[in-house]
Structure 1
Amino acid sequence: MDVKQIITDSSRAIADQYVLPEVGSTIAQRLTRQLAEGRYDGAATAQELANLVTVDLQSVNGDGHLRLIHHVDEVPDMPSEEMYLAMAVKQASSTMDGVRRVERLDGNIALLVIDPVLFDPPIAGNSITAALQLVAKADALIIDVRTVRGGDPYTVALICSYLFDGPPTHLLDMHDRQGKHLQQFWTLPYVPGPRFGGTKPIRVLTSAGTFSGGEELANDLQFLGRAMIVGERTGGGAHPRVGLRVHPHLELAVPVARPTNPGTNDNWEGVGIIPDIEVPAEGALDAALQSLQTQTATACKPRSTDRG
């Protein structure tokens, strides 16, 4: 294992590609300094090196997406996008495309549990749309992203497309490391099958472990007033990343873009999504059900009449 080459390649990639240029330069300099001071000399395995380097990568600004990842299986020697696709397809095939559970609860409330990732639409689009069509006739919807660690903005947009009515809704803007606008994400004008729609109540369950794509789904629905978030403050990882092979068993994850809510310069990086109803993650489903029951009871309560 050529530790010097791994650190040199990683430092260069971070300096050249990290979404916050000044921070990226600082992180790259830190890695180089740590190498010179012998911090990584004791790393006997790729796993040990990954652990040490990840601590240093995240020591400057706490970006949870920025890390050196050890893989038991050899990382494909491909460009990063193809490398990610190959690994994602393999993971999706063993997790039912991330659709862990769809259930009808008492009161015609639908529960959709997503785990562990919101896989890209070309991988999991059929499974996601099938689940959303199944819950479309429910009177309320609970989306559980408590164990979601990542995902694709296009998949978030696909899910949200079933949860709004009318013309496309602006969800998110993406910017590059120079602050230049890259892309906007909107709900789709057409989706296969019926929509759940834009008026029935939605709750999204979160935990401290909810990260990245799971946070974006919660963020978009909360920011637009479409859903209430129930559970714990999330992990605070907003910056999408690419994967770079720096060793047969090591992938360097480098954040390369920055999302913002429409019309703002804000996102959830380092802050997380703050729940509307804050409860321990294990009690989030019960709290969401209670919240929906309260909302239903309030909506059905007859108004008093002033008879003078």
Structure 2
Amino acid sequence: MLRGQRNSGDRAGCPGYVRSVRGESDRSAEIGTLVDQVIRHYVFPDIAEEICRVLRERLDAGAYRALADEDFAAAVTEDLQSVNGDKHLRLRCSVEPVRPQSDAVLDDHDRRLQEAELAGHGFAKVERLAGNVGLLDVRALFEASVSGAAAGAAMNLVASADVLLIDLRRNGGGDPAMVALLCSYLFDEPTHLNDLYFRSDDSITQYWTHAFVPGAKFGGSKPVYVLTSGETFSGAEELCYNLQQLRRASLVGETTRGGAHPGNRHRITDHLVATVPTGRAINPVSGTNWEGVGVTPDIAVAAEHAFEVAYQRALEHVLTLSAHGARHQVAEQAQQAFAERVLETSRAQDGQRSTNSAINR
């Protein structure tokens, strides 16, 4: 699965435990275990060989000698990504000890369940903005089997909005099944969203919208804007890419980070965990994915301005709708909110002109 979100137990540094410093030759064991996992599982076998050659050369050159675990993880991650820039391929520290398991792939279900419960199942905010514009601030895409009910509740709350804003600027990724579930509320007909190819059994898993979802749908005709940043990653990028390729949403913000290879976590030591990509995304429309290049927004603006730009466009749409009957109050709200944003934009432009004038004096 596309689990790009940062895990609370995995850190570039590990301040929660005593720094471990090995002897000059001890890192050969860790590199040996890591090389074995990369050779066996990495989605591109030929590139795996090249990556492991780099690791062995660096080990022989003493690059990892006497490094504490957090420094070792950072150095190895840089080397892992040096061949093809795969940001999903990495070595991280775990604050909590990682117990040995019989299966090479770590079973993280209990940890992910606890993380989901403590993080509102990834939904930081569900709001109806002035003008009947729905806003979903989604920070993580937890497994649909764990957080599907929360996703359904969030989507039900925005189903009657005239426009929907989905904020993925702080979203590091997650479960492709959750991506499919959220997309299912945005289409009226069965829609092929994405494919994932896996090296292990040379198979392809297709992802489609669901024929049935709990509660009401937002539907397939009303406008959707997705807010992006350079930190939007992995499964969150899939959500962006799916909707963009199917012309279902407009992306507003920055080009995303560029990670399209799902993978699994493998224990290296008690405090070192490797993530090794085992597959790659294949979009049914483009025939490719966003690996290494990110998803380019339709409306390019700095991430901090993405909400205001998207919201103003949403209000412009609402103002084209009927203002009669029950919609009269919505139209008034939209008009007021739109006027406020035009005024704020004008003031900001005046301030910038004043600053530029002072600089040029």
Global fold match (TM > 0.5): yes
Map 1:20-169 to 2 at 5 A.
20-43=44-67, 45-78=68-101, 79=103, 82-115=106-139, 117-166=140-189, 168-169=190-191
Q: Deviations over 1:204-232 (max 9, x none)?
A: 00000000011011110111010000000
Q: Deviations over 1:266-300 (max 9, x none)?
A: 10000100000000001000010122233445677
Distance 1:92 1:249 in 2: 22
The 1:71/1:281 distance shift into structure 2, 3 A limit, reads same
Contact 1:63–1:237, Cα closer than 8 Å, also in 2: yes
Distance 1:137 1:273 in 2: 28
Distance 2:100 2:304 in 1: 40
- Among 202, 205, 225, the alignment partner of 1:203 is 225
- Among 197, 208, 221, the alignment partner of 1:175 is 197
Q: Percent identity?
A: 44
The 1:227/1:62 distance shift into structure 2, 3 A limit, reads same
Runs of 5+ consecutive residues of structure 2 not aligned to the other structure: 1-21, 323-361
Q: Does 1:266 align with 2:288?
A: yes
Q: Deviation of residue 132 (structure 1)?
A: 0.6
Contact 2:138–2:171, Cα closer than 8 Å, also in 1: yes
Runs of 5+ consecutive residues of structure 1 not aligned to the other structure: 301-308
Matched residue, 1:4: 28
Q: Deviations over 1:141-192 (max 9, x none)?
A: 00001111121110000000011002x1000011123894421000000011
Q: Deviation of residue 89 (structure 1)?
A: 1.8
- RMSD across aligned positions (CA): 1.7
Distance 2:217 2:320 in 1: 25
Distance 1:37 1:10 in 2: 17
Looking at CA atoms only, which structure, 1 or 2, has the larger radius of gyration?
A: 2
TM-score relative to the length of structure 1: 0.92
The 1:26/1:224 distance shift into structure 2, 3 A limit, reads same
Q: Deviations over 1:211-266 (max 9, x none)?
A: 00110111101110100000000000000110000011111000000111115431
Q: Does 1:240 align with 2:262?
A: yes
Q: Deviation of residue 52 (structure 1)?
A: 0.8
Distance 1:234 1:33 in 2: 32
- 2:107 aligned counterpart, secondary structure: helix
Distance 1:299 1:109 in 2: 13
- AA aligned to 2:77 is T
Contact 2:245–2:285, Cα closer than 8 Å, also in 1: no
Distance 1:138 1:215 in 2: 24
Q: Does 1:285 align with 2:303?
A: no
- AA aligned to 2:280 is R
Distance 1:296 1:194 in 2: 20
